[in-house]
Structure 1
């Protein structure tokens, strides 16, 4: 049985790696760290080391057992391109994604330098979507690293959005997700930042997905933007509908 996800832009999660460490301001209130600590306290064996980076080879072939085609967020509890994840292990993850051709896999990283460095050493099947997180102007360079990869579908997660992102270069991007930070110490997101990004996507012809306003009560804050939800998906949405 797949691990169903409450993340609005995916269906399931798969964690062949768990744990991470903070590298930029977007990581400050990491939801995955909080969740890992709870799972450790509950005695979940994959989290016996808490949020320490841990390879989980016993989880590698899990998607091959999921027969219903679905969209799967890879490493919702880690970062596949963390420096301590060996290239050989990353290749094993990509091998599973290639073999599980009936799923769409969404891989997201903040470590865009390593992504660009390893891109030529990895296969890039059509069913693997590669994304980078960009939380503020300081980290826009991650988009250039993504653009240089061999990924067939490239996307941006502008979450948690911590500042305006004017004049984005969205060339070769297939999808943009925007979201505010949630949780007890969440930082506020200005609606004007979201509207501007939405407008940039419209001008560039890039599908736009607004995930949430966030805040202490994200359900109450909702995800409507100017009177509607925005659930656009990549035009090259290759998942076969069961």
Structure 2
């Protein structure tokens, strides 16, 4: 099953896996876990066990049925490189990707070490964007070095939810950075200076910068609902997208 995405930086979601387990600070208030519980209550196929990890092979061929070039976010409801996902199943996902060069596939993981290990013996399809989550210094920043080991045409960072000042970033080999605050009733605040520090480093290192949202807190440090100003940083929107590198 693929669905039209409400995520600002993609078009469709493709979930041949659902469910996950928490491994770092960014997982504490996981939006996918909350959504999975709602879908289970609604009787949605694939979510009979809520957020328990589940492979759904009947969804593997969904992109093959779509001829229109589309940007897919892969496993918005899981993590493709979860330790309990067999490598053979990940191979099947990439076989579909390789068969559909008209599409682009964005894959985001918190299991950066497994990402690097997987591709140490495999090539990356040209239509794949690979990214890692960078929510803080302890868990997130070390993932960047693992991502850099993988020869993807586009490598990106999802600095969301941004939970602290992540300090000085080496963006060598990184093509795109997304920044956003946490959403939901238990959202942790994001300070403007944290987000802007990442933006400045992107500008200095010539990396595309995308500001996704403030989330549950505003730039003024007050809890609020989303508004028309929910994507403004320094009084403007930042919607930069990566250019495919040469070669």
TM-score, length-scaled by structure 1: 0.95
8 Å Cα contact 1:175/1:208 also seen in 2: yes
In 2 relative to 1, CA 149–2 (structure 1 residues): closer, same or farther, beyond 3 Å?
A: same
1:97-176 equivalences under 5 Å are: 97-139=97-139, 140-176=141-177
1:25-40 equivalences under 5 Å are: 25-40=25-40
Distance 1:54 1:5 in 2: 21
Number of residues of Structure 1 aligned to a counterpart in Structure 2 = 238
Query: Residue 46 of structure 2 aligns to a residue in which SS?
Result: helix
Aligned-residue offset at 1:150: 2.3
* 1:86 equivalent in structure 2: 86
* 2:237 equivalent in structure 1: 229
8 Å Cα contact 2:153/2:245 also seen in 1: no
Query: Which of 218, 222, 230 is matched with 2:226 structurally?
Result: 218
Aligned-residue offset at 1:42: 0.7
More off after superposition, 84-93 vs 63-72: 63-72
Query: Residue 195 of structure 1 aligns to a residue in which SS?
Result: helix
Q: What are the Cα deviations for residues 59-99 of structure 1, in whole angstroms up to 9, with x where unaligned?
A: 00101111111111000000000000000000100111111
* 1:190 equivalent in structure 2: 191
Aligned-residue offset at 1:50: 0.7
8 Å Cα contact 1:159/1:180 also seen in 2: yes
Query: Residue 131 of structure 2 aligns to a residue in which SS?
Result: strand
8 Å Cα contact 1:183/1:217 also seen in 2: no
Distance 1:235 1:220 in 2: 28
Q: What are the Cα deviations for residues 170-221 of structure 1, in whole angstroms up to 9, with x where unaligned?
A: 0000100000001000000000011111000000000000000000523455
Give the unaligned 5+ runs of structure 1. none
CA RMSD of aligned residues (A): 1.5
TM-score, length-scaled by structure 2: 0.93
Give the unaligned 5+ runs of structure 2. 217-223
Distance 1:11 1:185 in 2: 27
8 Å Cα contact 1:182/1:218 also seen in 2: no
